[in-house]
Each structure stands twice: as structure tokens, then as C-alpha cells.
Amino acid sequence: MVDMDDDLPHITRTADSTGWTAEMVESADAIPHDIWDTCAGNQNPMLSHAFFSALENSQSACAETGWIPRHLVLKDHSEQICGILPLYLKTHSYGEYVFDHSWADAWRRAGGQYYPKAQSGIPFSPVPGQRLLIDPGLPAEQARDAAAVLAKACLGCVDQLGLSSAHITFLSKDEHDALTLTSSDTSSDASPDAPSGEWISRIGMQFHWHNKSYQDFDDFLSHLASRKRKSIRRERRDIANAGVRLVQKQGDDLTAADWDQFYRFYLATIDRKWGGAYLTRDFFDQIHNSMRDHILLVIASHDGDPVAGAINFIGQDTLYGRNWGSLVDIPFLHFETCYYQAIDFAIANGLARVEAGAQGLHKVQRGYEPVYTYSVHHMNNAQFQDAVRDFTTREASQIERERQELLTWLPYKNSAL
């Protein structure tokens, strides 16, 4: 088992055909921001160097909170970085949104120590997207090879550090398919009782709204069945009649006072529901300084007093809804602040999708469609690998049945209601 007080371990893997090596670094800031952002691309601002740096430097994702940064970087023969896997050693299973608490409990009951584990993802953000961040300048075949080497290096991390498992959550479908289709590949350095370097597929579900070239919110409503259209109009009318006014702020319009207000909303809601805030106040200052042009903050006021808000991140073609909070309990306030305002913004700015985060069956009847999400997992014990694979296979069948049922709930015309 790795000792967290030891010097930073280096995990090195060499691919015979390429000469690439993969090694660990202890923070996002150990990787030049321009190289990180080149590999991550500009589709999703939450994959940017600025976002990870803000999480770590604000002490939101750090050793004290159970997120120990150990990012993997892939270097070519000239020591140039050509790939990155955002990676943390986790001492718990919170803030991931792909739940493995039952796996951890079974591991403990069998006499093992589940934590720390290797976790690749965006801390506190159930946002699908690339996880194996590869330099887009590489030819396609080389890029595929680089991604495979990086994934194998993650498995090597598990073996060399004596970890229980590795998890890459909310990765793209292409990455998921590539890793699970080649999961029979073996690692020559794996321990004898390890499950041969396999990745297990796990399917999840979220709710995303899709912009079908709507001209405005009324145009969107016109595509809904009459009863659902009237219901949404009534909800928005009731919010207005209750004295609630909403404003959308972004870029240089955002102020420190806005973030002070939003953090009050965030803490109030966290305290009511979960009792522990993941994000520090400094995190919001840092993203304001480094990426405010990619932020949409919706502020709701009641009789002139700010009472609620929602933060969204603006991607190239997607609006990513993240955190919300409220000081008051007003019917439909959550729907208006988080969902309808997001749809308004997406239509006005020509965005293709709104991804409103995890959970929330109530999103379906407001036009958010059930879509699959993907994760892959590796358990460093053959018996647990088989048990988890059996679990995720049965879970996937259940999720498919649930998704088919939810599709009948959609409010669009010609949908079964």
C-alpha cells in the first residue's frame, strides 16, 4: 500500500514501438497550461487547465479533502508531453457521482483496504467527455496508441502503488469502447492474481436537453404536447407572479459580490441536503479570474433581494449546468433557475445541448432526454473483478429498461405520455 507521506512516486511505462513514457506529477500546475489545454481541446471548459488548477489551488481538491493529485503525463522520445490523464488518489468515494460504496464495503469485509484508489475524472463534476487527453497534432493511429499507453500506465499505477482499483468516470463513448473492447489485453507486469489488466464497463444515465434549431423558448414549447406546454408556462408564470426576477450574468459583468451571494446560496443548499461543501469560496474567485468568459451565473431575486443562483459553464456547443443554491423555498424556483434559464441561454446562443448534471427524473417531463454515460473500472483482484463485472452487467440491463420507460415520459408531441 502506498504511503501518502512518501516522496512522490513515478510510474514509468515504455511502449516498445514508440518510446513513450508515462509518469506522475503532483499537481495540474506541474503541467504547462498551454500543453494541457492543447491536449484537452476547447469543447469543455471543465477539462481546461484553469479549472483543475482552481480546484487544487483553492484546496477544494487536495490531500486534505481526499483528492490527492497524481496526474499522468505521456512523453515522447524527446520528452515532449503528448498526452495527459487527470488522475487522483482518492481516500473516499465522494464527489464522483459513479457510486462504488458497496464495492468498498465488500473489499473491507473481505479484509482488504479499498482506499486509496486511482480515480480519473473531473472532481465534483459528473460531466461526460474525454479523459485520455491526447495532443491533436498526433496522427490518428499514433493518437490511438498514445491513449492505449496512457490507460495501461494507469493500470501500472494500481499495481506499482498497491492500490485496490482504478476508475475512469464519465469518459467519452469512443474511449469507453476502445478500452472495453481491448480489455482482454494483458499487462506483463501485473501481479499473478490480478485480473489481467481488464477494464470493466459501467453504464449510467443522465438527462440532456437537445436544441432542435429552436428560434426561442416559445418555439421549443410549441413542439411539446399541449398538456406539458401549458404546465411549463404555468410554472414560469407562477415564478413571475411570486415576485421572482432572474438575471443572467457572464464575463466581466460578474463581480465579487455576485460570488459572495452565490456562495451563500450554495452553502445553504448543501447544509440542508448533504452537510458538507466540496467547493471553497476561493474556488469561485479563481475561476472568476481565469475563466469567467466561460461562466454563466443565473441570479434569482425575490422582491428585490437575491435568494438563489445557478452556475453554468459555457462550452463550444454545450451549456454545462453545475451547482445551484437557494435561501428560500419557492415553488418552481429550481426549475426556472436551473433548467428554463439554461434552455433560454442555449437557444439564444445557438448551443446544441444543455447538460444539467446527475440525477433528477423531473427533468424528463421538462424536455431533458435520458442519455447514457460511461465509466470503466479495474479491480486489482481477480475475484472482485468478476463480481464487479457481474454487477455492472446486471445494472446495465436495469438502466436500459429504465431508459426505455423514461423515453415514454418525454413531453414532445407524438411521444407516449
Long-range contacts of 266-271 (CB under 8 A, 24+ apart): 266/309, 266/323, 266/324, 266/325, 267/325, 268/325, 268/326, 268/327, 269/324, 269/325, 269/326, 270/325
User: No. of H helices and E strands in the chain?
Assistant: 12, 15
- Residue 22 gets the label, from left (phi > 0), alpha (psi -120 to 50) or beta, of beta
Quote the cell numbers at residue 48. 481546461
Determine the pLDDT at residue 103. Answer: 98
Question: Whole-prediction pTM value?
Answer: 0.93
Q: Computed from CA positions of residues 67, 205, 354, 333, in that sequence, does the dihedral angle turn out positive or negative? A: negative
Q: Which of 80, 106, 78, 104 is nearest to 93 (CA)?
A: 104
| Rounded CA separation 60/53 (Å) | 10
- Report the b/e string of 378-403 with b at 16+ CB within 10 A: bbbbeebbeebbebbeeeeeebeeee
What is the chain's pLDDT, residue by residue, as a tens digit (417 residues)? 444 444 445 565 544 456 899 999 999 999 999 999 999 999 999 999 999 999 999 999 999 999 999 999 999 989 999 999 999 999 999 999 999 999 999 999 999 999 999 999 999 999 999 999 999 999 999 999 999 999 999 999 999 999 999 999 999 999 999 999 865 444 434 343 444 448 999 999 999 999 999 999 999 999 999 999 999 999 999 999 999 999 999 999 999 999 999 999 999 987 665 557 899 999 999 999 999 999 999 999 999 999 999 999 999 999 999 999 999 999 999 999 999 999 999 999 999 999 987 778 899 999 999 999 999 999 999 999 999 999 999 999 999 999 999 999 999 997 544
Determine the pLDDT at residue 359. Answer: 76
Secondary element (H or E) of residue 250: strand 244-250
| Rounded CA separation 350/354 (Å) | 11
Determine the pLDDT at residue 17. Answer: 58
Determine the pLDDT at residue 175. Answer: 97
| Rounded CA separation 130/171 (Å) | 5
366, HSE (Cβ side, Cα atoms, 13 Å) = 24
Backbone phi, psi, residue 158, to 5°: -60, -45
Domains, the chain, in order of start with CATH, read 21-204+373-407 (3.40.630.30), 212-351 (3.40.630.30)
Quote the cell numbers at residue 155. 493500470
Q: Is residue 9 helix, strand or coil?
A: coil
